[in-house]
């Protein structure tokens, strides 16, 4: 899909995306030394303070890139054919139906990784402290999905789509998103979620489907942590059955809404004499 002339964002390579992620990480380290002690003295708990610092770091790097790109926030969040409200209304429920099975599969991946690479005491403490009160809830479940989607899909993926084909750009951006989490345990789910969020962006040219997915996952994991559920919890067969059923229904709905129209478009073009549709263009009924 061709970009409007006002979009001055330069093509972004995988190496450049990793470099920008390193810059965001470096800014996070500096802010942690300068700001986090002050945040904790003001009453913010450690997990909330750490989340806020990461959001500020990503936001700082993102803001510079957004200014250079000439993009408005309106176009950054949604550049599709249909309205943002229509896009979320059409895709929101199927996306959220995928959340339970993604979380359960991530628990299984965590168990396997813990057997291969046992968690250190500091890593275990990090995961156990993820609830962290109301401040951390707001940061983790609302603000973080917005800022991270703006940075990783709104800027990095958008730039990669100008340099690579859709499939390569999706995989590369998901890899960078996983690396940003700085531990192998979160890398697995971050990479998987990054693949899905990037694919949704490519089909819709909207950040909102990825934000819904990201917020749904963060909220579910935070709720589970607060309830004392973790990767070692033995979930019942009925829980798995419900999660698999919802996931299959959600996946089939998304396929029907986003991918099947693109597959039918070349056939329609052949019947009418028109040229084949651009595979990267979102379908007219779900963009």
Please check whether residue 156 is in contact with residue 68, taking contact to mean a CB–CB distance below 8 angstroms: no
pLDDT at 284: 42
pLDDT at 273: 43
What is the C-alpha separation between 63 and 60, in angstroms, rounded?
A: 5
Could you tell me how far CA 193 lies from the centroid of its own chain?
A: 6
Q: How many CA within 13 A on the CB side of residue 266?
A: 8
Q: Helix %, strand %, coil % for the chain, to 5?
A: 75, 0, 25
pLDDT at 287: 40
Q: For the chain, what are the domain ranges?
A: 14-121+128-263
Q: What is the DSSP letter of 276?
A: P
Paired tokens of 205: 């040219």
Query: Phi then psi for 78, rounded to 5 degrees?
Result: -150, 115
pLDDT in tens for each of the 287 residues of the chain?
444 445 778 899 999 999 999 998 899 888 888 887 887 777 767 667 777 888 888 888 888 888 888 888 888 999 888 889 999 999 999 999 999 999 999 888 888 887 787 766 665 655 565 555 666 677 788 888 998 999 999 999 999 999 999 999 999 999 999 988 877 777 888 899 999 999 999 999 999 999 999 999 999 988 887 777 777 778 889 999 999 999 999 999 999 999 887 666 555 544 444 433 444 554 444 44
């Amino acid at each position: 899909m061709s970009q409007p002339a006002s979009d001055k964002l330069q093509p972004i390579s995988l190496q450049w995306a990793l470099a920008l992620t390193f810059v965001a990480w470096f800014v996070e380290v500096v802010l942690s030394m300068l700001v986090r002690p002050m945040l904790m003295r003001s009453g913010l708990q450690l997990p909330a303070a750490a989340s806020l610092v990461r959001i500020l770091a990503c936001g700082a790097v993102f803001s510079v890139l957004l200014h250079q790109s000439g993009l408005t926030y309106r176009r950054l969040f949604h550049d599709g054919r249909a309205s943002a409200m229509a896009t979320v209304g059409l895709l929101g429920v199927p996306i959220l139906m995928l959340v339970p099975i993604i979380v359960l599969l991530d628990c299984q991946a965590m168990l396997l990784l813990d057997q291969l690479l046992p968690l250190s005491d500091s890593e275990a403490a990090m995961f156990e402290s993820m609830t962290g009160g109301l401040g951390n809830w707001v940061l983790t479940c609302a603000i973080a999905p917005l800022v991270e989607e703006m940075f990783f899909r709104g800027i990095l993926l958008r730039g990669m789509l100008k340099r690579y084909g859709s499939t390569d750009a999706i995989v590369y951006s998901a890899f960078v998103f996983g690396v940003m989490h700085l531990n192998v345990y979160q890398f697995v789910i971050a990479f998987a979620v990054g693949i899905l969020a990037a694919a949704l962006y490519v089909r819709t040219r909207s950040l909102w489907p990825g934000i819904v997915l990201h917020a749904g996952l963060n909220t579910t994991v935070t709720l589970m942590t607060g309830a004392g559920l973790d990767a070692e919890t033995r979930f019942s067969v009925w829980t798995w059955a419900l999660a698999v059923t919802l996931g299959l229904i959600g996946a089939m709905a998304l396929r029907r809404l986003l991918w099947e129209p693109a597959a039918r478009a070349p056939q329609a073009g052949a019947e009418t004499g028109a040229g084949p549709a651009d595979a990267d263009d979102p379908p007219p009924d779900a963009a």
